[in-house]
Structures are given as structure tokens and as C-alpha cells.
Chain A
Amino acid sequence: MAADALSNAITELEEEQVVALVRERLENGVAPLEIVNALQEGMVEVGKRFESGAYFLSELIMGGEIMKDAMTVLEPRLTGASGDYKGNIVIGTVKGDIHDLGKDIVVMLLKGSGYNVIDLGVDVPKEKFVEALKESQAPLVGMSVLLTGCQAAMKEAIDAIRAEGIDAKVLIGGNYIDEVVMDFVGADFFAKDASDGLKVAEKVFS
């Protein structure tokens, strides 16, 4: 368990306590970046609990909402503070599919673990994946799909990336994703859940 009171509060999903502690620390002149780090530490523990099965989606989403609300207070005060990222990751839900839950959970865990995540949103055309990869030089791109009918769009996006000669690794995820789908679309990795995705990122960036 995290030692800091604020980290603990967010890990235990104690919303009112988080709000009070953030306010108190700001009033006492604690650097906003330090507060964000404490929150992030707590969120990493939330992610670990989700991974181990102690927390479910309801708890993961609650943690994310508490974090988001705290960030709306903290973000405007963070100007100038530079983050120390492990690297860039591009992510998006493929064209034709507007489901964001799985993608958002992965984004949350990746950000919590210190990656700079370029989130392209949902219904992302292949050109946008290519453009974002060229711009960011990210070595890893995550593609999410729930609807099996949109898996062909995933293949097209991966084909487009390969055709451009971009050598980023491709990680795919979604409820109906397995090895067969990975081979069909030509991805490098597949993830059955968000923590699998995190492990792939660790491997790619190690």
C-alpha cells in the first residue's frame, strides 16, 4: 500500500478525502506536480488491484473519475512543469467503432505508469494512425475494437502503417480479440485485458 495519505485516499476511492487533501496541499503551497505524482502513485495501485482481480471495472472507473476531477483543478496550475515520460504511445479505436471503454482504461493505466499517450479517440481512420505515428515517432501503437464487424478496418489501418514503412509495434485489444484475429490483421501483440496491454508496453519500452 502507498504510504502517502493522498495516494491512499485515491487507491481506496475515498472521493471526498481526495478533494479535501488536494485543496489542503494547494493551500499549503505544495507544488501541483508533486500532488499529481501522489495521485498517480495511488492510481498505479488501483491498476494493480484491478490486475490482481481485487478491483473490478466499477472501481477502476471510479478511480479514473476521481483522478479526472482532481486534474481539472490541478492541470491549469501545472504550466511549465515538465513531465518525465517513458515514451510515446499512439492509441485509438478503429474506424467504424465508437466504443471507448476498453481504450480509456488502457490509456488510464498507461498514463498512470508514466507513458505519454496520444489518444486519437474513436472511429479513427487509418490515415490518422499513420499521421500520428509519423509525428510522434512512437514505437508502439494500440488499436482497440469491440465490434467484430470492424476488425477488417483494423487490418486496413495496420496495412496502411506497414505500407508507409513505419516500424512501430502494433498492439490490438478488445473483448473478441485473440491470436486468430491478431494473425488476420497482422498485429504484433494482442491483449485480452488492460493489464496485458501494460505488459506489452513494458516489453516494447524495455
Chain B
Amino acid sequence: MSNKEQLYQERLNRYMTAMDCGKPDKVPVCFGIGEWAIKYTDYTFQEVFYDSEKANRIVEDMLPDFDVDIFSGGPTLWWPPMFDVMGSKLYKFPGIGLEEDNTFQYNEEEYMKAEDYDDFIANPTEWLVKNFLPRISAEFAEPGSYRATIALIKSSAAFAMFGAAAGAAAQRWAVEYGMVGQFTGFTKAPFDTLGDALRAMKGILTDLRRRPDKVLAACEAIVPHNIYGGIAGPGADTRFPCFAPLHRGAYPFLNPEQWDKFYWPTLKAVIEGLWAKGKRMFFFAEGNWTPYLEKIAELPEKSIVFDIDTTDAKKAREILGGKFCLQGGIPTTLLTYGTPEKVKEHVKRTIDELAGDGGFILAPGGVLMGDAKKENILAAIEAAREYGVY
């Protein structure tokens, strides 16, 4: 076994042990080389988003000194051309509708209207292809037309090219640097699928009063699709969790009765459905989820990895600790406005308070954006190694 293979195995063991609530030799640490890394290069955001070789170069320049157990990825989430060729209205990308050194943004609109509920509930996939795609894609306005067909082929090709390039890069990083990736697969809470992309914030929140039964029926119709989404993909891997960015379940979007009735049952069904197939969810609880911890504790043991962003960390440990692996502990603003000394102090304290008898992964709680500082991130990793030995 080569050194790198051995390193990969050690890190993988730490990750797997922590996810099963066990105590590894060291506290596993998880970071990516995100948008923050771009400012230390000569590249603009636009170049990095559009040219994956440049994005990969940024990662590979830094990886040799990046001693993390779990790698949460490079500076870009997707390759924008797969949206651009569809004439997609969903996003603004750097250099197109935004300055070239800006991150991407989502254009929220009611792409699904209130009167679309019945058709959507009857057959979500058919409704998405026939109605949603033409509405969000200028080049796919007339499905079946020559123009629409070409756009679809180009976009699918771009999606496949991006997937292949990302897969090859991940493989290379595993072999050459012993890097363990964080996820395989992607899913969401059904309420967020409906609320984020289809009905938009005001639409879904007013639907709760204007047409509550439709909201419930639509969320239920989405459940099997979101179970499938979490496990679909190469090899149907079940070692790594699927990524689930969770939105409207954060406090204080919904009142407690609404949360119990509209958000939780179908998210729980997705988690239980995935767990029945051996697939775990990375429960990316962005924002504050403190009021809901007791409910979350009812999930099957070990079926999620719970991310602590602005949730009360001590309460999370008290209520969820031992049942689920907890991840987080480093506030994103500390990595921007703190100093390496302050970051180290914080990491030491966090390990003392949260690492306990295992089942904990040290990581930034939320998304690290372009403002985070490299010296603070490196200090966090260094401190994790210094204080994170069990």
C-alpha cells in the first residue's frame, strides 16, 4: 500500500467511524477549497466558474498542504454552460448579469403558479418537462422544436462533461493526495423542492393558508423522487451521505404547527426511505434549527449527519449527540474576521465542548464564501490536528 493509499484509508476510517457515532483516533476535520481561494490567484470568479481546469488548478496548488480528512470540494458548484445553453433564467453567473468577481445568484420567481398544483401532483416529472422547463429556459420554450431539441442535447452533453471532469478530479485527488470526498448524491426536503424552485418563498408561505391541502399533496408526491435523487448516480454508493441543503425548516420561517404538519413528515419520509436503502443524509441545517432538535431526534439512529450552523451547539449535542454524528463548530464569520490566534482558541474550545466520545466532525457550520481568509482556515486545520487527538 502506498503512503497516499494508507493516508486515504486512515482518513476514510475517521469519517466512517464518526458517522457511526464512534470514536476515531483523531477528530475528523472537514473543509473544502472554496470560493475564498480565488482571491489568492490571478483568476476572476468568471474564469474559475467557466474553466474547470482553472478551478482544479486552484485546488491542486493547495492540496499538498491541506491536511483534512474529508474534502468538501472545490470553488465551484456547477459548470454554468449547462444552464447557459438552455437560456436558463434560474441563475445569474459571474460576468453574465453580475460583475465578473461576484459569486452566482439564484433568481427566485413563482415558476410554478398556484393553478398548476393539480397537474404537478398528478405527475411531477411530466409537469416539470412540459411546463417548468419551458418557463425557465428561453431555448426550450417550445418542447419538440428543433431549437429546443438542440438545446437539450447541448445541455445534457455539458452536464455529462461536467460530471465526468468532476469525477476524474475527485479520483485524482484521492489517489495523489489521499483526499476523501464528502458526499455522493443530492436531495432536498420535499417542502424545499416545492418552495425553493417552484412556488418561491412568498408563494409557498402564503399557500400554507390559501391552499394547505395542495401543499401537503405536492410534498407527498415529491417524496419518492427525493428518495431516488439521494441514491441515484454512479454505483448507487451507500458509504457516503447524500447532500441535503435544507432551507424553510430553519427558525423562524414556519410556526411550530406548520413545521410539524408541512415540513417535517415528508422530510422524515425521505430520510427513512433513504436509510432503508442504507443511505445516510448530510442534514445541512443552514441557519438555526434549535427549536426542532427534539423532533429530529426521533429519526432512526445514525441516519443523518447533523450540521450545526447557528443552531445552539450545546443543545444539539445534548439532544442529538450519541444518536447522530454532529458536524460543524466553526462559525463562518470567525474565519473571515478572526485572526489565526482567535481561530485556534475557538477550535480548542469547540473540541473540548463537542468532540466528546466521538460522533463529531469539526467543520465550518455554514457555506464559506469568498470573504473567508486562507490563514484562518489553515489555522483551524492546524489547531484541529493539535488538539483533536482522542
Contacts and interface: CB of A to CB of B under 8 A. Distances in A.
A178 B310 CA distance: 12
B209 A62 contact: yes
A175 B333 contact: no
A101 B209 contact: no
Contacts of A74: none
A104 B305 CA distance: 34
B258 A56 contact: yes
B254 A56 contact: yes
A57 interface: yes
Contact of B206 (A53, A65, A175): A65
A96 B337 contact: no
B201 A101 contact: yes
Interface residues of B, number: 31
Nearest to B334: A180
Nearest to A13: B209
Interface in B181-232: 201-202, 205-206, 208-210
Contacts, number: 67
Interface stretch (B49-57, B98-106, B136-144): B98-106
B33 to A, nearest CB: 15
Contact of A176 (B98, B105, B202, B333): B333
Interface string A48-60: 0000010111110
A76 interface: no
Given A56-B252, A61-B206, A62-B205, A149 B371 contact: yes
B2 interface: no
A149 B202 contact: no
B303 interface: no
A98 interface: yes
B388 interface: no
Contacts of B253: 56-58
A184 interface: yes
Given A56-B252, A56-B253, A176-B333, A61 B205 contact: yes
A15 B366 CA distance: 37
A151 interface: yes
Contacts of A96: 98-99, 102-103
A148 interface: yes
Given A57-B252, A101-B201, A180-B337, A148 B371 contact: yes
Contact of A148 (B206, B210, B252, B336): B336
Given A62-B209, A149-B369, A175-B287, A55 B333 contact: no
Interface in A164-205: 175-176, 178, 180-181, 184
A99 B264 CA distance: 25
A102 to B, nearest CB: 11
Nearest to A176: B333
A175 B103 CA distance: 18
A58 B333 contact: no
Given A56-B258, A61-B206, A62-B209, A181 B337 contact: yes
A147 interface: yes
Interface in A1-50: 13, 15
B205 A58 contact: yes
A152 interface: yes
Contacts of B287: 175
Count chain B CB atoms within 10 A of each CB in A58, A61, A101 and give the residue with the most. Answer: A58
Contact of B210 (A15, A59, A61): A15
B103 A56 contact: no
Contacts of B210: 15
A61 B252 CA distance: 12
A13 B210 CA distance: 11
A180 B333 contact: yes
A56 B371 CA distance: 31
A101 B247 CA distance: 13
B202 A61 contact: yes
Interface in B307-338: 310, 332-333, 336-337
Contacts of A149: 35, 103, 369-371
Contacts of B92: 98
Contact of B371 (A61, A98, A101, A152): A152
A59 B255 contact: yes
A147 B103 contact: yes
Contact of B255 (A15, A55, A180): A55
Given A61-B201, A147-B369, A56 B255 contact: yes
A86 to B, nearest CB: 27
Interface string B365-380: 0100111100000000
Given A56-B258, A147-B369, A176-B332, A15 B99 contact: no
Interface of A: 13, 15, 53, 55-59, 61-62, 65, 96-98, 101, 147-149, 151-152, 175-176, 178, 180-181, 184
Given A61-B201, A62-B208, 7 more contacts: A58-B253, A62-B206, A65-B202, A148-B336, A149-B35, A176-B332, A176-B366
11 contacts: A15-B210, A55-B255, A56-B255, A58-B253, A65-B206, A96-B102, A98-B105, A147-B103, A148-B336, A175-B287, A176-B332
